[in-house]
A and B are shown apart, each in its own frame.
Chain A
Amino acid sequence: MDKKQVLSTLLRKTLMALTGLFLCFFLVIHLLGNLQLLMPPEQAKESFNSYSHLLSGNIFIKIISYVLYASILIHCLDALLITLSNRKTAGKYAVDKRGASSKWYSRNMGILGTLILIFLVFHFKDFWYQYKFGSLPKDESGHKDLYTIVIAAYQDWWYVLFYVLSMFALGYHLLHGFFSAARSLGVYHPKYVSWIRVFAIGYSYAITIGFAIIPIYIYLTQHVLWN
């Protein structure tokens, strides 16, 4: 019997955990950058555009961005392979009430992940692609005016709704994912396990609310306060 394994079920999960945690780390940096959009309009425009310019010119950020693209790809492909293999091993029941013993979002990480991926396609198309390859107008400082593009995007209520709902999908994905990553990496000490559980919940709430509040704030300030 051949017992030499390259990628065992455990290593596949380790890969999910490592790429997932890197994406979690990235989300924090992304959110901190986005929070500049909550400043008064003139200040926000100057600050956000020069921040975007700073990031796009930095070699260190460039390396991080390639790690980011790789993480997204590996996380998705690994998830797909795991799901396909699980489909073969899983037992099926005529009457299935197994849901009573676990959380719905823990059982549906694949669906939540797919929703996030669909969101990412639009997100990359509207902002990332525009900034990298589109012809953006320049602001007063001569930086590409990403701020105006972002503000323009959140003028439609349906776009804001799509964005906010996607953030909830992300939130539930994180609620299971962050804690699960620590489990897959082997944190077994009861004290640190409970600390991580509390941190993971706080982290998921902070990321979800932090990202969701920005389009709502922009929509409300543009439509209600200044019109």
Chain B
Amino acid sequence: MKIYLKIWRQSDAGSPGQLVSYELDQVIPHMSFLEMMDTLNEQLILNGDRPVEFDHDCREGICGQCGMMINGRAHGPIPHLTTCQLHMREFKDGDTIYVEPFRGAAFPVKRDLRVDRSAFDRIIMAGGFVSVNTGQAPEANGIPITHEQAESAFDSAACIGCGACVATCKNSSAALFTSAKIAHLAKLPQGKMESGKRVLSMVAQMDIEAFGHCSNTEACEVECPQHISVLNIARMNWEYTLSRILKK
């Protein structure tokens, strides 16, 4: 396959960037999108050019590091997929592919396709901790939790923090990410005790980081590689309103 690429190149956070055109021959349909990018980078290095920088780690769809806007959609044209799990067979010979970094006021571009997503870390930090006394391992059945409850909490906890929800949101809202973290702990007895305090500080941090309002378009759920449900957002709204009303 021959692929024409238009990739966002930007040397650092302060400089303006632009789309640069590249041509890549001998792309194999079985290549993952990131392997195609590796091939391009090898070519760039051989020519003495600076390779395209992009985030990646596990390359098996669970770490949440890789994230690119491919042809105007987060993680490419297929819903519920990470960039590393996208393969070149989804494209045709001679296609032009636009590759841009995830964008949003809270996601500044560091270089090329590499984006600073540390705002997510600060939201998690704002959530604090679950008060569990250290000591001997507690009896496993000391706190009764139903299977359904555990599964539901795990569904929320499955978020890998890739940022596709923010990238695809028309307002760059982090509602899905933040709500998944809030709901995950609020659904379990250990986390429930401090859920009121947690939701207030995490939402406050989310707003400080300059994420937008949630318009409930539900685009985030469509692009989320982990199928995180928008019902988490409803849960966050409920917990937040309740906490504001009950707060002393």
Size bracket, chain B contacts: 35 or more
Q: Which of A91, A106, A180 contacts B102, CB < 8 Å?
A: A91
A3-B204, A107-B215, A176-B216 known; A89-B104 Cβ under 8 A: yes
Contact B240 A89, beta carbon cutoff 8 Å? no
A90-B105, A90-B212, A101-B73 known; A186-B204 Cβ under 8 A: no
- The interface bits of chain B over 218-248 (1 if a CB of A lies within 8 angstroms of the residue's CB, else 0) are 1100110000001111111111111010000
Contact B98 A95, beta carbon cutoff 8 Å? yes
Contact A9 B231, beta carbon cutoff 8 Å? no
The verdict on A93 contacting chain B, using a C-beta distance below 8 Å, is yes
Contact B73 A100, beta carbon cutoff 8 Å? yes
The verdict on A10 contacting chain B, using a C-beta distance below 8 Å, is yes
Contact B73 A90, beta carbon cutoff 8 Å? no
Contact A106 B216, beta carbon cutoff 8 Å? yes
Q: Which of B126, B168, B210, B237 contacts A183, CB < 8 Å?
A: B237
Q: Which of A109, A185, A186, A188 contacts B215, CB < 8 Å?
A: A109
Contact A186 B238, beta carbon cutoff 8 Å? yes
Nearest opposing residue in chain A for B69, CB measure: A93
The verdict on A92 contacting chain B, using a C-beta distance below 8 Å, is yes
User: What residues on B are CB-neighbors of A88 within 8 Å?
Assistant: 105, 210
User: What residues on B are CB-neighbors of A96 within 8 Å?
Assistant: 72
The verdict on A38 contacting chain B, using a C-beta distance below 8 Å, is no
Taking beta carbons and an 8 Å cutoff, which residues of B are in contact with A? 8, 19, 69, 71-74, 77, 79, 98, 100, 102-107, 126, 166-173, 200-201, 203-208, 210-219, 222-223, 230-242, 244
